[in-house]
Structure 1
Amino acid sequence: MVEETGIAELSFEEALKELERIVGRLESGDASLQEAIDLYERGDQLKRQCAARLDAAQARIEAIRTDGEGRVAGTAPFAG
């Protein structure tokens, strides 16, 4: 069944696990049409939440810069 928990309150891991459950339910073909639509909509929201959390995490990652001799010279924002 579709959970009513607020998606913004879920951790990345919780959202991903719920998304996996939804995909499994949809792939089983056992859901009624309305339930499948509801599951798809919730899954889409979960996917967007996971992507936003990954984007935020990536923005916080810093690349270590080294000088010509391999010594750490500082950090720079992750360039993707």
Structure 2
Amino acid sequence: MAKQETTLSFEQAMDKLEQIVASLEGGDVPLEQAIELFQEGMKLSQLCGSKLEQVEHKIEILMEQEGGLVKKPFNPAAEEKGEWK
């Protein structure tokens, strides 16, 4: 992965990925360039996924429980089911 790609913010990486997808969907890209764009897009996708995982690990929900605060890991599946309060 290029050094520049690892220093991109999540938003910058997503913007660049969206541009690549639009170019590839347009179909006006020569095959060699399409392969390069696809490879760059895969790297950006992995970078975004990694950044999302890092954020997910940092997110914790503070809950009041018996007069104290208890940290609980964020569980998006429980949120969808309405289980966390």
TM category (shorter chain) comes to: 0.7 to 0.9
Identity %: 33
Post-superposition CA distance 1:40-70 (Å, at most 9, x none)? 00000000000000000000000122326xx
The unaligned stretches of length 5 or more in structure 1 are none
Within 5 A, what are the aligned runs for 1:27-46? Answer: 27-46=25-44
Q: Which residue of structure 2 lines up, in the alignment, with residue 77 of structure 1?
A: 73
Give 1 or 2: higher helix fraction: 2
- Count residues in correspondence: 75
Shift of 1:77: 2.4
What CA RMSD, in Å, does the superposition of the two structures yield over aligned residues? 1.9
Q: Name the SS of the counterpart of 2:63 in structure 1.
A: strand
One-letter amino acid of the structure 1 residue matched with residue 55 of structure 2? A
Match of 1:47 among 18, 22, 45: 45
Distance in 1 (CA, whole Å) between partners of 2:35 and 2:68 is 52
Q: 1:23 to 1:67 in 2, by over 3 A?
A: same
Give the TM-score taking structure 1 as reference length: 0.82
Distance in 2 (CA, whole Å) between partners of 1:67 and 1:6 is 45
Shift of 1:78: 2.3
